[in-house]
Amino acid sequence: MTKHTAGQRIVIEPVTRVEGHGKVTILLDEHRKVKHARLHIVEFRGFERFIQGRPFWEVPVLVQRLCGICPVSHHLAAAKAMDRIVGGEKLTPTAEKVRRLMHYGQFFQSHALHFFHLVSPDLLFGFDADPAIRNVIGVAKKFPELAVQGVMMRKYGQEIIRITAGKKIHGTGAVPGGVNKNVSIEERDFLRKDLDQMVAWSRAALKLCKDYTVEHLEELAPFGSFDSNHLALVREDGAMDLYHGNLRAIDAAGKKIFDQVDYQNYAEYIAEEVRPWSYMKFPFIKSLGPAKGWYRVGPLARVNVCDCIDTPEAEAARKEFMAVTKGAPNNISMAYHWTRMIELLHSIEKIKELLHDPDLQGEDLVVKGARRSETVGLIEAPRGTLFHHYKVDDNDQVVMANLIVSTTNNNEPMNRAVTKVAEDHLSGVTITEGLLNRIEVAIRAYDPCLSCATHALGAMPLVVELRAHTGELVDRRVQA
Amino acid sequence: MNDRFAFTIDGVEVQGRPGQTIMQAADEAGIYIPRLCSHKELAPHGSCRVCTVLVNGRPQTACTQPAGPGIIVENSSEALLAIRCNLIEMLFIEGNHFCMFCEKSGNCELQALAYRFGIMAPKYPYLFPTRELDASHPDIFIDRNRCILCGRCVRASRDLDGKNVFQFVGRGPRKRIAVNAKTALADTDAARADKAVSACPVGAILRKRVGYGIPIGQRMYDAAPIGSDIEAARAHPHK
Ligand code: SF4
Ligand code: NI
């Protein structure tokens, strides 16, 4: 009588997926020189309103709808916020470690996906290669082992998410004050099986990225590059910490703008500027103002900002990376890839550490304490610092939500990168294929979360428009 | 004493006893008839129509229709399946059911029925109604977005809790579940342990602050589809 298909889960989900595509407009001045370039991202903004009135314990699961690529980051940022609502921010060792495992699993799969599916075609075939070849299918044909590695690494990260959150996407693992499950011996052993292979592949991916960057440094250094501030969470001892820490910001030369700032007070340090042409806001460091206070987040910023990394191989890799700029912050846009791979290795080192920690099998999962009504949850998501800020009333309902997502933090930097590429590579008034490719490559360095669907397919639809100072459309080109 | 009588469901001979509904006899025989408004501890209501069967060729709700000697019941024809799928789909589009983040997911009877019937996406457009929340009670949360008007809470509160906390108000598309108080649930004598709360088949009446506590994989309908418990009795008849 029934048509139940074993194991196959259906989703009844009436809300259309967050749509996204990138649109770039390049504006020329009277002398037909590039005045500025703007990246327009269609961002899903209804969320803050949608969440009004929802019960606070629902939020960590609900926010995963924000993004199909980094749902785990939103899940954990919201859970960290809601920990404070129930007075449970001092998690049990088991809860914190299960969450960290989930988080590093997300990093691992996100960075692996980005590198193998989106970046490796640019590096292996060159920026100017025909987009028909310069894609993940092209990689699969010419470098089959590499494509397989990418798939397997992504799958490994997803298995970690499945085990810690219950499902590969839209899991429920983190609850206010803790987690709803630990990691069993069987689950741990299942993940341990492929561990060494994952470490080995991560090393190889890092090497590929590093060698490429070093070899092409002259060409890459100016590519879409500019000086900027950098922002990230760091541990109390200044070490990189992707799950928890305090805020540190440095300028382009490495001078600290602020350090060890409790992120509950982020609003005293960070503000968001609204510009009429963009739905996406422009965050900046208050003390420097909007013109000078914008900053970069994500792998490059994190490696620049931290004093060290607490896993040996990633720390050695960090030192090598910092040696390129003689210890000063690296402001090269294309260096994002190298740092992303340092974090890939760091994540798998952390995963290995956790999979050998008996606390993962602990039974003490949730803590609660004195109730609060306002809370901020911050986390370093794969794409950068992610802010979740909420107010919850006495009836347990959310009455205010403000989110600053990683891609928004990198809004101004991405605009700068595109502008720089346009300045350097636009000749005349036509958008050449080479320019289009280069704009795409520059944006990709920042791994923006434009659209989950397009990201997953490995292509970002990109529209570039060239406008004269009069506003008249001079040229238009689309990369599908 | 042999007052048992025989009838058939989909050609299978089933024993019934006087006073039993078709659904009760089917349950005993290990035959699952899908249902929503019906609940073991509550008087039958016959409102959701998901348990519609053909009795001697005529549609009846199995939760209210008495079993009788020699009746011929059809429970799993293509046509009945289509009717049930339609009813379930209508319930989805009439409310705001976001299984993806609903804390009742995995324990929700509506979702479980959709899974059992293999409903991928409703063929009708969603209505996206505006429905009210009631978070006033310290321990209970009402989310009318997910209410399917099954009336279980009304019956459970009245008949099991002896309280009369819930009632229906309005008619037609404006019909909704209300509380017997001037303003909100906080002004009733509803309590966390009330059967009216646990009787809700969907995520419309919830105990506060416990959502998502059970990990995915261990929830009610994670391992086997809804109705499997009843069908298990047929696989291992206890004669
Ligand atoms: S609140 Fe729940 S039990 Fe009450 S009528 Fe609605 S769905 Fe049925
Ligand atoms: Ni995202």
- Residue B221: inside a domain: no
User: What pTM does this model have?
Assistant: 0.92
Instruction: For residue range B178-237, list pLDDT tens digits in order.
Output: 999 888 999 999 999 999 999 999 999 999 999 999 999 999 999 999 999 999 977 665
Say which CATH number the domain at B45 has: 3.10.20.740
Shared-domain flag, residues B32 and B145: no
Shared-domain flag, residues B139 and B181: yes
Domain count, chain B: 2
A480 has pLDDT over 80? no
Closest residue by CA, ligand 1 atom 7: B147
Record the tokens describing residue A317, joined without a space.
Answer: 């890799």
Which of the residue ranges A17-26, A358-367, B56-65 would you say has the lowest mean pLDDT? A17-26
CA-to-CA distance for B121 and A16, rounded, in angstroms? 12
Shared-domain flag, residues B54 and B132: no
pLDDT at A16: 26
The single-letter DSSP state of residue B159 is: I
DSSP readout, B48-87? Answer: S-TTEEEETTEEEETTTSBP-TT-EEE---HHHHHHHHHH
Shared-domain flag, residues B148 and B115: yes
pLDDT at A1: 31
Record the tokens describing residue B84, joined without a space.
Answer: 């049930």
Shared-domain flag, residues B62 and B92: no
Shared-domain flag, residues B57 and B157: no
Confidence bin at A477 (pLDDT 50/70/90): confident
Which residues in B lie closer than 8 A to residue A14 (C-beta atoms)? 93, 96-98, 126, 128
% of chain A surpassing 70 pLDDT: 91
Within 8 A by CB and 6+ apart from B159, the residues are B42, B43
Count helices and strands in chain B by DSSP H and E runs: 6, 10
Which residues in A lie closer than 8 A to residue B75 (C-beta atoms)? 1
CA-to-CA distance for B37 and A264, rounded, in angstroms? 47
Q: What is the mean pLDDT of chain B?
A: 93
Q: B171 to chain A nearest CA, in Å?
A: 26
Which residues in B lie closer than 8 A to residue A165 (C-beta atoms)? 216
Instruction: For residue range A50-94, list pLDDT tens digits in order.
Output: 889 999 999 999 988 777 678 899 999 999 999 999 999 999 999
* Complex-level ipTM: 0.93
Shared-domain flag, residues B119 and B168: yes
Looking at the DSSP bridge assignments, the partners of residue B58 are B55
Answer left, alpha or beta for residue A37, where phi above 0 means left and psi between -120 and 50 means alpha. beta
- Residue B226: inside a domain: no
The single-letter DSSP state of residue A329 is: P
- Residue B45: inside a domain: yes
CA-to-CA distance for B201 and B196, rounded, in angstroms? 10
Shared-domain flag, residues B53 and B106: no
A166 contacts B118? CB cut-off 8 A: no
Instruction: For residue range A413-472, list pLDDT tens digits in order.
Output: 999 999 999 999 888 788 888 888 888 888 889 888 754 333 333 445 677 788 888 888
B114 contacts A12? CB cut-off 8 A: yes
pLDDT at A45: 57
Confidence bin at A142 (pLDDT 50/70/90): confident
- Residue A420: what residue type? K
pLDDT at B2: 66
Q: Give the mutation target among B161, B205, B206 for probing the ligand 1 site: most ligand atoms within 8 A of CB.
A: B205
* Residues A38-46, mean pLDDT to the nearest whole number: 69
- Residue B231: inside a domain: no
For B13, counting Cβ atoms within 10 Å of its Cβ (0-12 exposed, 13-18 middle, 19+ buried), the class is exposed
Shared-domain flag, residues B95 and B190: yes
CA-to-CA distance for B158 and A83, rounded, in angstroms? 38
CA-to-CA distance for A239 and A227, rounded, in angstroms? 23
Say which CATH number the domain at B152 has: 3.30.70.20
Element (H, E) at A26: strand A22-28
Which residues in B lie closer than 8 A to residue A175 (C-beta atoms)? 211-213
Residue range(s) in chain A whose domain bears CATH number 1.10.645.10: 47-408
Which residue from A76, A295, A312, A46 is spatially nearest to A203, judged by alpha carbons?
A312
- Residue B151: inside a domain: yes
Shared-domain flag, residues B71 and B88: no
> Which structural domain range is residue B177 located in?
84-207
- Residues of chain B with a CB closer than 8 angstroms to some CB in chain A: 10, 75-76, 81, 92-93, 96-101, 103, 111, 114-122, 126, 128, 133, 135-136, 141, 206, 208-217, 225, 227
- Residue B59: inside a domain: yes
Closest residue by CA, ligand 1 atom 2: B200
CA-to-CA distance for A178 and A185, rounded, in angstroms? 20
Shared-domain flag, residues B137 and B67: no
CA-to-CA distance for A70 and A72, rounded, in angstroms? 5
Fold of A47-408: Cytochrome-c3 Hydrogenase; chain B (1.10.645)
Instruction: For residue range A170-212, list pLDDT tens digits in order.
Output: 899 999 999 999 999 999 999 999 999 999 999 999 999 999 9
B91 CB under 6 A from ligand 1? no
A111 to A90, A151, A445, B124: CA distances (angstroms) = 29, 12, 12, 39
A6 has pLDDT over 50? no
Q: B10 to chain A nearest CA, in Å?
A: 10
- Residue B165: inside a domain: yes
pLDDT at A364: 98
Per-residue b or e along A114-125, where b marks 16 or more CB atoms closer than 10 Å to that residue's CB: bbbbbbbbbbbb
Shared-domain flag, residues B140 and B114: yes
Residue A169 in contact with residue A453, Cβ under 8 Å?
no
Q: State how beta strands A398-404 and A384-392 pair.
A: antiparallel
CA-to-CA distance for A185 and A214, rounded, in angstroms? 43
**Last residue of a domain, which of B76, B110, B129?**
B76
